[in-house]
Structure 1
Amino acid sequence: MEREKVELFKEVLKKLHEGEDVESLKKQFGELLSQIPPFEIPVIEQELIKSGEIDVRDIIKMCDLHVEFFRGAVSEAGREIEKLPNGHPLRTLYEENKQILKDAEALSLLASSTFSLPKDDPRRKQFYEKLVQHVSGLHRIGLTHYTREEMLIFPYIERRGITAVPTVLWSKHDEIRLKIRLLLNLLKKEESDERLKEEALELSRMLSDMVFRENNILYPTLKVLFSEGEWKAIKLLEKDIGYYKIEVTDEWETSAEPVLPHQMDPTVSPETYEKLPDEIKRVAGMLTPDTEYSLVRDNDMEIESGYLSLEELNAIFKTLPFDITFVDKHGRVRFFSGGHRIFHRAPTVLGRPVQFCHPPRSVHIVNKILKAFKEGRKEPAEFWINMGDRKIHIRYFPVLDKEGNYLGTLEVVQDITRIKELEGEKRLLDWKD
């Protein structure tokens, strides 16, 4: 029977190598493959790798089989999510997790394969390079999938009083981000086989564990709690962050108006609470939603990305670590920030043609920049000069409306002396108590 398993697996891999897709193979071999226990698959794969019957190109293809046949026991909650139309943000998260699970499997298999080969085996270098390439690509999980959850999903459940869950998940996300960075550095340093294999298998386990937590706990919670309007808002915002290895379609549609966290009713009805997964109810207890805070106050100004009072707006401009000046489309100075400035400005400059605010010797440069911006050549202009022992960075940006029409020019001036001296990283606060 053992040889039959190996031969069966070799037959499937051969067809994969020849370009046959997984769905077709499921129909041909699904019943037979499902009879092979999951723990036996790596043993068979190792035998085939050592015998030279498969190469690095087949590794990822084998992981499609892992996900489809041996890790593909979809929970009831998963089946409900799979019924959602393509393009629904929850379905998108779920589909990304399939890719993440596949990549976790590929990481485990690549690491096991690479370090099972003798160092003088000519295939080892090829496997090692593929492992480095694979780990390098995993950082995209944190940039896309995890970031969308942290920035777009977590605010809605936090507002409902579920704060422990996002805190734990975000911590786990960061552990995975750090582990990816660590493993990549160790690979580039060519650490010992034992250490590299250990770290790779641990990262694979962490990625798979996060998929399990999300698919079986987080996503069923979101399906119960979130309204169509909340999903609509998330859908509108998620493209700016991006997706992990999937193409997102627009099959899902809703007539609901988008609802942001500060606009929603955070209370959870007893009926809805009872539908939550037991793991969530154990952590959250009886929910205490955030109902006291009102984002929009009397006399607030609505800005595109928030609400501010005039007092706050002025204070923000005075606090900026650089100074700005705005020249309108007619070439007149309309605004400058207060607080510490590198180049002096006084209220007498307001309404003044910008050409009169510069030395006559540099007016031709000012005119050249304004003309280029008005004509739609949008590249910022920048200069840097020495002022004593300080390095000053000066930049000019075209300011455009939503349709791309020219509104004016923004001058940004910054002392970058200290910035140029920075080296390495500083991740801890060093304030003295």
Structure 2
Amino acid sequence: MENMRKYLSDIDEDKLKVVMRVKNAYSEGRMSLEDAKKELKEKVKTLRPYEIAIAEQDHREFEDEICRKEDIQQMMELFEDIMDDSQPDLPVDHPIMCYYRENNAFRKVLKEIEDLVQYPVIKNQWYEIYDKLACYRTHLQRKQMQLYSMLEKKGFDRPTTTMWLLDDFIRDEISDVRRLLDEDKDEEFISKQQMIIDDILDLMSKEESILYPTSLAMISPEEFEEMKSGDREIGFALIDVQNSENKSSKPVQQASDAASGGDSLSFAQDLAKLLSRHGYQSDDNKILDVATGKLTLEQINLIYKHMPVDLAYVDENELVKFYTDTNHRVFPRSKNVIGRDVKNCHPKTSVHIVEEIIEKFRSGKESFTEFWINKPDLFIYICYVAVRDENGKFKGVLEMMQDCTHIRSLTDSRTLLTWEAANADADYGADGNSGKNKEENNKEKGEENMSGNGKDIKLELGTKLSDLLLAYPWLKDELPKINSKFELLNSPLARVMIPKATIEMMADRGDMKVEDLINAIQAKIDEKK
């Protein structure tokens, strides 16, 4: 494990010991705030945020839930006279600035809660707020997959892995409180709002006072630039992010295909380097002997890109070495997980399961285990297979994951070839849109109206999204261009949303007037005619 001091300079060990001694004495009630602040001002004088991070990393043993229990506002009051916690001046698309911008956007949502909580419950108003809060999951996922992994590689692992517990705690807390609204438990629902506000603000304070400044001190500008592609792949919450290098570029939500293509190229380059170390040429057209055939590097990359299931491989050293970069991935990943200890890719609450799987596989006691997530209108299947060489030596773990919702819905038998628009949800194409493939098939059949039969679809409040996509399969790609919130149509949740959604529901979720949405959809249809 790297030592984070390697990436920081001018560390005063004596000062850090004073900081931790005073901080612990104050938090345990053995020193008053006035005395603690006085001693810090006399003996410490100035304190940089990352110095607190180093003190926490080296001079304190973490308990699993200490990050959640600690009163961050109380700690910031302790250090307010000696530490600068102002927001940095960074480009709007800088990864750290995106976190700050998201926090600012969510503070506005929390303000909406404070304003609305004093009135009788009107469900639609609260659903609108909790739809926004649900986006907080994206903020947390990007932080866990991107920022934590980068910091852990540099030796800053204790605070990040502990903060992961708090991330997941708040994520689940938001879901649990929303469920009270679904169950018509209005009084209990309202009573939980202050808790939601306090906990999210507390997490933001932890991020902004320690995590982000420490990241800026430890991560180089070049590494932040590399981080941007993974950030775009996972997505952003309540903000639009444009590439500062290209002023005319589309918002990130509309540029996911380009980002995906960039990651595909990155994967090909990484694989080429790996092959070259074993004596193979890196030419994409070089024929390679694989286990049961001969393939070029380009073909290998394309096969993984179109794989109908998600695969990930962890080697015998418990390092993440590979995952398939498909458009239909069940859960988000980023290239920053490559080379990372697999235990650091999971919250502490589930690390023991990971360790047990690896231990049983390594010992030879077990070679397979499976899990599944069964929710209304969603079924995710996950299995783990021990990878062994021809001599039976343990070489790692292969994970396979698949959204089996559609498969479980199949009945009877099908033995004849049938092209159905329903299969447009299975985004196995390189462009993530099998609907386009269907449109191309229509052209081959010589159909005259490539945009569907618009006469059969009347755009009104109750028009179903499934009917729209049946008539106009290409519309699935166009809807996010009308409203970025429709990007969910390109996620596994599409199978849940599409059968239920109407134009009225879409307008409500997209904060649009129904007539504006209808006009925008009609304009897209007219463009195709």
Please indicate, yes or no, whether the TM-score normalized by the shorter chain is above 0.5.
no
- Provide the TM-score with structure 1 as the length reference: 0.41
Normalization by structure 2: what TM-score?
0.34
Greater Rg over alpha carbons, structure: 1
